[in-house]
């Protein structure tokens, strides 16, 4: 009982996790976004992007979400779709498939959420 009393009275309190407040620093964000833009046609993984930002993969994903408003994966596939939609020879369904969306409607829903436009309106 003495041990329990001593631990409760004089032991250190449990550490509460420090809340993550900020996102990527402006310089980190610029480096990552520039890299994404330059390598949009390549396979981009969040581990690779985290290394560019100088963060662990977990911290990078959290910081990216805070800074950009969506996960790295969501951001990259929407950016790919934006790039592919500039080519009028491809159908919207083909763009959706090539960019990594499950279907044309999946592309349309995500694209509208991010840009405020449908893929068809973006083209025009």
Say which CATH number the domain at 114 has: 1.10.10.60
Considering the domain boundaries, does residue 17 fall inside one?
A: no
Considering the domain boundaries, does residue 45 fall inside one?
A: yes
pLDDT of residue 12: 62
Considering the domain boundaries, does residue 53 fall inside one?
A: yes
How far apart CA 99 and CA 82 sit, in angstroms, is 9
pLDDT of residue 20: 47
Considering the domain boundaries, does residue 14 fall inside one?
A: no
Considering the domain boundaries, does residue 3 fall inside one?
A: no
How far apart CA 83 and CA 37 sit, in angstroms, is 10
Domain range for 76 is 26-123
User: What is the DSSP code string of 48-115?
Assistant: HHHHHHTS-HHHHHHHHHHHHSS-HHHHHHHHHHHHHHT-TTS-HHHHHHHHT-SSHHHHHHHHHHHH
pLDDT of residue 2: 74
- How many CB atoms lie under 10 A from the CB of residue 113? 11
Q: Which one is predicted more confidently, 100 or 12?
A: 100
Considering the domain boundaries, does residue 112 fall inside one?
A: yes
State the total domains in the chain: 1
Instruction: Answer yes or no: is pLDDT of 15 > 90.
Output: no
60-104 tens-digit pLDDT: 999 999 998 889 988 999 899 999 999 889 999 999 999 989 999
Q: Are 20 and 66 in contact (CB under 8 A)?
A: yes
28-63 tens-digit pLDDT: 999 999 999 999 888 888 899 999 999 999 999 999
Considering the domain boundaries, does residue 11 fall inside one?
A: no
pLDDT of residue 16: 47
């Amino acid at each position: 009982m003495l041990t329990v009393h001593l631990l409760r009275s004089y032991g250190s309190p449990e550490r509460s996790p420090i809340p993550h407040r900020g996102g990527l620093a402006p310089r980190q964000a610029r480096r990552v976004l520039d890299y994404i833009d330059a390598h949009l046609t390549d396979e981009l993984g969040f581990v690779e992007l985290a290394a560019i930002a100088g963060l662990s993969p977990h911290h990078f994903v959290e910081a990216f979400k805070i800074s950009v408003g969506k996960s790295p994966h969501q951001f990259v596939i929407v950016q790919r779709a934006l790039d592919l939609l500039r080519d009028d020879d491809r159908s919207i369904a083909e763009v959706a498939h090539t960019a990594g969306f499950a279907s044309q409607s999946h592309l349309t829903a995500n694209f509208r959420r991010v840009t405020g436009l449908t893929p068809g309106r973006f083209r025009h």
